[in-house]
Structure 1
Amino acid sequence: MRKKASVIAIGNEILMGEITDTNSTFISRKLFEKGILTVVRLQIPDKREDIEQALRFCMEKSNIIITTGGLGPTNDDITKKTIANFLGRDLVLVDDLKNWVEGFFQRRGIPMSDVNLSQAEIIEGSRYIMNPIGTAPAIIINVGKKKIAMFPGVPSELYVMFDKFLEGIEGSIPVTTLLRTTGIAESDIYNEVKKDAPQKIQKIIYYYPTWRGVDLRIVSYDIDLQKDAVNFLKHKFGNYIYSLEEKEIEEIVGIMLRNKGISISVAESCTGGLVADYITDVPGSSDYFIGGVVAYSNKSKINILGVRQNDIDRFGAVSEIVAREMAEGVKSLFNADIGVSTTGIAGPTGERPGKPLGLVYMAVSYKNETIVKKQIFLSPRKRVKVAAATFLLNMVREVIKG
């Protein structure tokens, strides 16, 4: 039987928004690496009845129940005592832990209150993992075929003990593949998958939308089914998929430019230098990136890039022909193999009849051809810029690929 886990984050401070629960994300990721799927994640207050209710629910859903928080020495730290009562067991003082807690304060020259000795107590029949940087150990107890593990809520203390907890715990590690897309909405991908993919493929595709695009993660214990899902998505959305691994579009494009010995230059208006920023985020980008221009005003488009005044007057700066002339102009200016451009309305102002907020024209000029594409991206302003820069780099990828 495949192992499943539940994670319970305990603490009033989490529910009041005073701190962010990063522990649950860390735990879920580490468990997944071991082939254990987290099926429940809860955030609950420091209240006995809520902890007991969460335990009952999670023990029905999973084999492994992990709690964080509530292991401190104060009155509101009730996790350990509540779980002991829930299981009908006593708390017992451990001499080694008592010595550790006392030494922890002595080494720092801090007086220790008697209340701190409660952190040397564990649940009867449990085992513990020593906390090398704090006073609250992790406590693990087997309940039949299930396992309950309690960790302190301080992230750094959880992190140093969690790998020790995972030793000897093995799950069924699934096969996973990440497909990164840009230029297509999550809903459009979902609708096409729902319409054409077999049910067994639909069930193993997970969608993660970002401003840069939509990541599709395929998770399956069946290698053949996983391959079928990858092939289906590649066939259906090939032009939008730019990577089958944990790489950003600028890394993929950079590899292609370097391998083919192709240089690139950029002319940006609405993206304000973001395309150049992405390109130069890649180490060694000087091998292929010649330079760029942020031609934000009409004057700079005309004087630097050679855009025709008549075309701006007739069609506007946000137009197909201006994007084309910007890409061709910057390619000539830097004597690059490829010239690219963006011009658009990032918002929140600037909307005009026929030119809505989020409208962006992007162009790629390579050899004797210039390709221009028009997209309308979702607000806010930063999202438009990120989406446009990513989409343009994918256009470069498609042009180089041929």
Structure 2
Amino acid sequence: MSTFPPQPIRPILSSIAAILRERNQTVSVIETATGGLISACLLATPGASAYYRGGLTLYSLESRITFAGWTQEDINTYKGPTPQVVSKLAKRIQSQFSTTYTICESGTAGPTTRNFTSPGYVALAIASDSGEVTTREVSTGSSDRESNMVAFTEAALNLFLDVLNKSVQV
């Protein structure tokens, strides 16, 4: 049996896929600290082409300028990954992809950090085409890069499932 996606994430992915297919909804993903794991997990689910529209791994400042339209003001006011930063990224990219939802995360997987946050911290946001954004902050208390990347992925997918379960199809 394959070890990817990680076993604890598989039921979350099954639920997400079923809901998105049933509602004919779509998702895009913006990642930093997870390095593409959220997208990879969604794409590992058979039938993902029905709902997955694309993703970006905006790991560097240059990629945020080029692909997310960051301005000099964004750069000047940046204080690390925060719910405000991921909300803004999620809203901007959600409209560019024209998806029902965009999952966004930014954090510090570790083992080192750039003085903004401690390793093991991630800010998450889910933007919807209704304009609503739901955020969550998670701290693992660990500086283990690999385990944090997986934990951040699981947290982002859990938040997305929470949003899907609360949303009502109109």
Q: What TM-score does the superposition give when structure 1 sets the normalisation length?
A: 0.38
Q: Deviations over 1:107-163 (max 9, x none)?
A: xxxxxxxxxxxxxxxxxxxxxxxxxxxxxxxxxxxxxxxxxxxxxxxxxxxxxxxxx
Question: How far apart are residue 308 of structure 1 and its match?
Answer: 4.0
Hey, what does 2:118 align to over in structure 1? 356
Q: Is the 8 A contact 1:328 1:339 kept in 2?
A: yes
- Offset of residue 372 of structure 1: 1.6
2:38–2:153 CA contact under 8 A, matched in 1? yes
Alpha-carbon separation, structure 1, partners of 2:7 and 2:147: 8
Q: Percent identity?
A: 28
1:212 Cα deviation from its structure 2 partner: 7.7
Who wins on radius of gyration, i.e. which is larger? 1
Q: Is the 8 A contact 2:91 2:131 kept in 1?
A: no
Match of 1:346 in 2: 109
Match of residue 67, structure 2, among 304, 307, 313 = 304
Change in 2 beyond 3 A, CA 1:351/1:304: closer
Q: How many aligned positions are there?
A: 159
Which runs of 5 or more structure 2 residues have no equivalent in the other structure? 1-5
Q: Which residue of 2 aligns with 1:265?
A: 28
List aligned pairs for 1:180-259, cutoff 5 A: 247-259=10-22
- CA drift at 1:252: 1.3
- Give the CA deviation at 1:333: 1.8
Distance in 2 (CA, whole Å) between partners of 1:314 and 1:303 is 18
Cα gap change, 1:333 to 1:317, in 2 (>3 Å)? farther
Distance (Å, rounded) in 2 between the aligned partners of 1:212 and 1:375? 20
Q: Distance in 1 between matches of 2:80 and 2:115?
A: 12
Match for residue 397 of structure 1 among 148, 156, 161: 161
* Structure 1 position 298, deviation (Å): 1.4
State the SS of the aligned residue for 1:399.
helix
Q: Which residue number in structure 1 is paired with residue 46 of structure 2?
A: 283
Structure 1 distance, partners of 2:99, 2:84, is: 20
Q: Match of 2:127, as an amino acid?
A: S
Deviation at 1:395, TM superposition (A): 1.0
> Once the 2 structures are TM-superposed, how far is the Cα of residue 357 of structure 1 from its aligned partner?
0.8
In the alignment, structure 1 residue 293 sits paired with structure 2 residue 56: yes
Name the CA distance, whole Å, in 2 between partners of 1:380 and 1:373: 21
Q: Is the 8 A contact 2:37 2:153 kept in 1?
A: yes
Question: C-alpha displacement at 1:352, in angstroms?
Answer: 1.8
Rounded Cα–Cα distance in structure 1 between residues aligned with 2:19 and 2:59: 29
The 1:309–1:390 alpha-carbon spacing in structure 2 relative to 1, beyond 3 Å, is farther
Change (3 A) 1:351 1:376: farther
CA distance in 2, matches of 1:319, 1:302: 18
Q: Deviations over 1:340-387 (max 9, x none)?
A: 11111111111526x111111111001211112111123310111111
Q: Please identify runs of 4+ aligned residues in structure 1 that moved more than 6 A.
A: none
SS of residue matched to 1:302: helix
Q: TM-score scaled to structure 2, two decimals?
A: 0.85
CA gap 1:348/1:329 in 2 versus in 1, 3 angstroms:
same
Which amino acid in 2 is paired with 1:263?
Answer: T
1:248 aligned counterpart, secondary structure: helix
Q: Which residue number corresponds to residue 134 of structure 2?
A: 371
